[in-house]
């Protein structure tokens, strides 16, 4: 349990989280969250918060959202048993297949929900940011679906390593804006999108892609992504014969992980989030925020961030563009502080090896982000034989081929190969 919380406080906050009472009226998840934004953006956030309160759980909004999830996104996504991984690992391995959703990742759940909200709030255009490109693709597709123009901000480094997704965004009618400032990755893209939003806060809707940032975004994204865990929970009961012993998800900003974990918080299930361990433990060598970070404010939220002793936010490294972020969603910070979720990391090499094994064993090319969760799940299975394991397969790996071609496939011996 974190030193940030006393035991009784942690217990009370976790109980409130399980009851759905967080964030509170100030947008706080215990000590984390809130809204730290320039005065020029306060009206925009207040307008968004009012719109979320009015529409998000309104019956007509939910009916439209659920209809699009079913007819356009392709939900429910499958729960897939992994027989060869199960045999090899000595466990009972199940995959929640967000890679099968329209556009190839969990990002579409949030994107279509916010695009519908933007339309209802009278926005004239939408802006978004992206790291791995999947949120950009999802935003472009969702905006095309509801008939709103879309501009996507993307770090120049990420544009190079995610070139296929850049082309997809353009073909879906979006403008892709290269961000050359800062670290030229996701953090810089978010900064640039926020600067653009300030120029026209009423006409522009900012479609944030993860459960990060100022209130109400962490709450809004969690609510839209919770469909993952809601489906997975029921599917495990129906298809696997019961709930899993443990659930794994990769964590960058944390939207797919909170979407899987939140509906499972009240169950007797071990929850493990897996961050990017990169190439080492030093600042700048990884993106393992919860493992090595400290409390601070980043892009509107008080959370755990990677910073030096002077409070300067540090650049990160991960082979996966979607995990390459210097912070994490405030709800994840709380779940770590209460001890409800354990956060660990997997290195670049471990993620690559896990991706190869999944491809050869189950015929699934997963995203490099998700590969971190597979690597950690395999290590868990070695120490806990016979457990029923659920892995959130957050996206497919087609987008990662430009990166993967730099690492030639190695011949490996897999169970049954």
Q: Report the alpha-carbon distance of residue 266 to residue 264 in Å, rounded.
A: 6
DSSP reduced 3-state for 231: helix
Q: Find the helix or strand (DSSP H, E) in which 206 lies.
A: strand 204-207
Residue 284, class by beta-carbon neighbours within 10 Å (0-12 exposed, 13-18 middle, 19+ buried)? middle
Q: How many CB atoms lie within 10 A of CB 83?
A: 14
CA–CA separation, 241 and 236 (whole Å): 6
Angle CA(306)–CA(256)–CA(293) in degrees, nearest 5? 15
Q: Which two structure tokens, joined as six digits, stand for 241?
A: 């014969």
For 235-286, the DSSP string reads HIIIIISS--SEEEEE-SS-HHHHHHHGGGTTSS-EEEEEEEEET-SSTTS-
The residues annotated as belonging to the active site are 107, 129, 394
Strand partners, 287: 276
Q: What is the dihedral of CA 343, 363, 403, 173, to 10 degrees?
A: -100
Distances (CA, A) of 12 to 3, 18, 334, 346: 15, 10, 12, 31
Would you say 68 and 145 are in contact if contact means Cβ atoms under 8 Å apart? Answer: yes
- Residue 369 near residue 277, CB atoms below 8 Å: no
- Which H or E element spans position 207? strand 204-207
């Amino acid at each position: 349990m974190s030193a940030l919380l006393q035991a009784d406080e942690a217990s009370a906050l976790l109980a409130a989280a399980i009851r759905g009472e967080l964030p509170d009226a100030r947008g706080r998840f215990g000590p984390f969250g809130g809204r730290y934004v320039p005065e020029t953006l306060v009206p925009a956030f207040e307008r968004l918060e009012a719109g979320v309160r009015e529409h998000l759980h309104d019956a007509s909004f939910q009916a439209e959202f659920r209809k699009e999830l079913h007819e356009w996104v392709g939900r429910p996504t499958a729960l897939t048993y992994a027989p060869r991984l199960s045999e090899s690992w000595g466990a009972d391995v199940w995959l929640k297949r967000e890679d099968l959703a329209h556009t190839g990742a969990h990002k579409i759940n949030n994107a279509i929900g916010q695009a519908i909200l933007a339309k209802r709030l009278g926005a004239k255009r939408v802006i978004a940011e992206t790291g791995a490109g999947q949120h950009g693709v999802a935003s472009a597709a969702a905006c095309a679906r509801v008939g709103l123009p879309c501009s996507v901000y993307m770090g120049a480094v990420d544009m190079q390593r995610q070139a296929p997704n850049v082309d997809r965004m353009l073909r879906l009618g979006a403008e892709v804006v290269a961000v050359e400032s800062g670290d030229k990755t996701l953090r810089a893209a978010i900064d640039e999108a926020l600067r653009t939003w300030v120029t026209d806060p009423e006409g522009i809707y900012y479609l944030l892609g993860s459960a990060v940032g100022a209130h109400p975004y962490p709450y809004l994204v969690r609510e839209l992504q919770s469909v993952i865990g809601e489906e997975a929970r029921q599917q495990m009961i129906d298809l696997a014969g019961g709930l899993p012993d443990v659930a794994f998800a990769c964590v960058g900003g944390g939207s797919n992980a909170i979407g899987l974990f939140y509906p499972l918080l009240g169950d007797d299930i071990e929850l493990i989030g897996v961050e990017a361990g990169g190439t080492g433990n030093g600042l700048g060598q990884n993106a393992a925020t919860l493992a090595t970070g400290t409390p601070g404010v980043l892009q509107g939220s008080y959370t755990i961030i990677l910073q030096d002793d002077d409070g300067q936010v540090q650049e990160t490294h991960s082979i996966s563009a979607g995990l390459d972020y210097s912070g994490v969603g405030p709800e994840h910070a709380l779940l770590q502080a209460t001890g409800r979720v354990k956060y660990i990391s997997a290195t670049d090499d471990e993620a690559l090896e896990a991706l190869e094994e999944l491809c050869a064993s189950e015929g699934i090319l997963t995203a490099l982000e998700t590969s971190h969760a597979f690597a950690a799940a395999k290590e868990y299975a070695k120490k806990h034989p016979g457990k029923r394991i659920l892995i959130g397969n957050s996206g497919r790996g087609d987008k990662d081929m430009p990166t993967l071609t730099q690492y030639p496939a190695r011949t490996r011996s897999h169970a049954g190969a």
